[in-house]
Amino acid sequence: MAYIKPSWFFATIFNRFALATGAANSQPLTVAKRGSKLSQTIPMTPVDVNGVKYLVSARGETEWVKNVRANPNVRLTTRSGMTDYVATEIAVEARKPIVQAYQDKASKAVAKFFQQLPDYADHPVFALTPR
């Protein structure tokens, strides 16, 4: 599966900035690493479509995607608190409207990733169900 590796600046500087400020409509997503079981927290921009909250991987087959597949229990943190979810991967044929809504919400921040990976199959999508 396709993957766009983040630059050093993005992984080290921007992610910390986004976690601290909520830049680009982001919220901290916490998942368990599949090997160590330690927590991994990254900024994510969830999108709501028809009353369901989704996570979209703009960069493709990322570590967080692999971690969620191994353990679908995730946590999103907002200013009002934390919510635990169970993530369920969405089939490729059902991703289009979700990915489009995500692109509209995240806009310029992710546009280049979708130019590099234009196929919806390259962007894992997960529906979030509150636990």
CB 123 within 8 A of CB 115: no
Q: Residue 86 in contact with residue 73, Cβ under 8 Å?
A: yes
**Which H or E run includes 54?**
strand 52-56
pLDDT (0 to 100) of residue 99: 96
- Count of positions (residues) in the chain: 131
65 touches 33 (CB < 8 A): no
Q: What is the pLDDT of residue 35?
A: 93
Where b means 16+ CB within 10 Å and e means fewer, 107-117 reads eebbeebbeeb
The highest-level CATH class for domain 8-130 is mainly beta
Q: What percent of the chain clears pLDDT 90, i.e. is strictly above it? A: 79
Give the pLDDT of residue 106.
86
For 10-67, how does the pLDDT look when each residue is reduced to its tens digit (9 = 90+)? 888 988 888 888 887 889 999 999 999 999 999 999 999 999 999 999 999 999 999 9
Q: Does 117 have pLDDT greater than 90?
A: yes
CB 105 within 8 A of CB 129: no
